[in-house]
Structure 1
């Protein structure tokens, strides 16, 4: 019997769309490159400019600090959402509702202007000027962290709920406290579900930090704006900023891929605590 040759089905609609897309992208690239109003020679001069590099360092610092704080706060909020105490549940729900429901830009401006209605902070033994405590850096970090914590809480909650409820019962059978069961049994297993969206949020945070330029927090975009306010090379400096944002998000995406691949490569096996608990439960059942 002769071997049958498989001929893929033709799809002229997809071919037409692809041609239109290629033409549109090519035209856009040509219009940008051929524009006489862009000084391309200025872009390499500012790529490694000291002011720009300082802005990059601060952008990375904002991202790292905001993500660390939001992950910790998000984990606490997620556990509060899953608690049996109605006060904890409602507080966490109200927090998530408020910070997800108001624009981040408004929150940044709010924290920056908090001294308008709280001019000083009285700690009893000392009175601090709010302006000296909530600087532009602190205001931006507070806004980024508290806002991101609301999203992290839902990510964490989804990951924790994805773990089989029997894991908690097995830990309880072995005498684990609820906190021990959460930290040692449930949370490590939830990481498989939690890590990918955390990676996406980190990449998003690298770009979201650009919003802090509204309070002159000296991130990458703020430094670029300061430069083009003097030399009027607006498009050129924005291209420089875009190149760096693309580079940072590309590196972050690569790291996320490596972490996800490592997690996905591991062969799942029921944890030792689960197997031990099952043996205990079976032995007690046989005695009964």
Structure 2
């Protein structure tokens, strides 16, 4: 069975189009992505920092005997820049969301101990009494709900970590489930349940309205664990994330890859999902 990587497949399709049209299209994508990355960096690095994550790509130049070859090389370089920028954008978005989640946990702890997180301690310029900042207390129902999720203890750390993450997701505590599942996949990369955890991490992002982060998590599961038990599922949910991101053509290519690489799963337990996925993406 001949297998085509999704990234290589998409790149080859772009290169096969007319060079002039590709240049215009890719230039717009590069400009848009660079603007988005700078906007995110202002959140990750406040204070006007001008740091920029250059893509770690070294273009190897080779002499060309025709103008057409030079144009094709330039388009290929631009496509490589776009891929690198999209990865940087997804990673930075993840950093923003993770930083926000950590900040929320710190605020919750401060509120629980009745400690003001910030605020002036002296009288203001008008001579009135100093103002205090009151932090909102954490949702008591959520605190109780999370605490009620039982952590299994079977002696298999990988299995226990995944099951706990699954229970958090099943109870719709999505941020907590994301943190747990991501930690499990990172701490136990060789465990059988790592494929399950990374796939469910992508689903937790989808359920939490974060399709960009979902697409990264799901593609990484397929890329890093192609023989994992949930690799076919990750391709299906990746197509779902792409549809939500408005990339229906890419979603169709992902579903085609699912059928090519995992024909038994695509025609068996995932058959209904493949059919509904194609309908959602308007695949021909």
What's the TM-score, normalizing by structure 2? 0.23
The structure whose RCO (Cα within 8 Å, separation 6+) is larger is 1
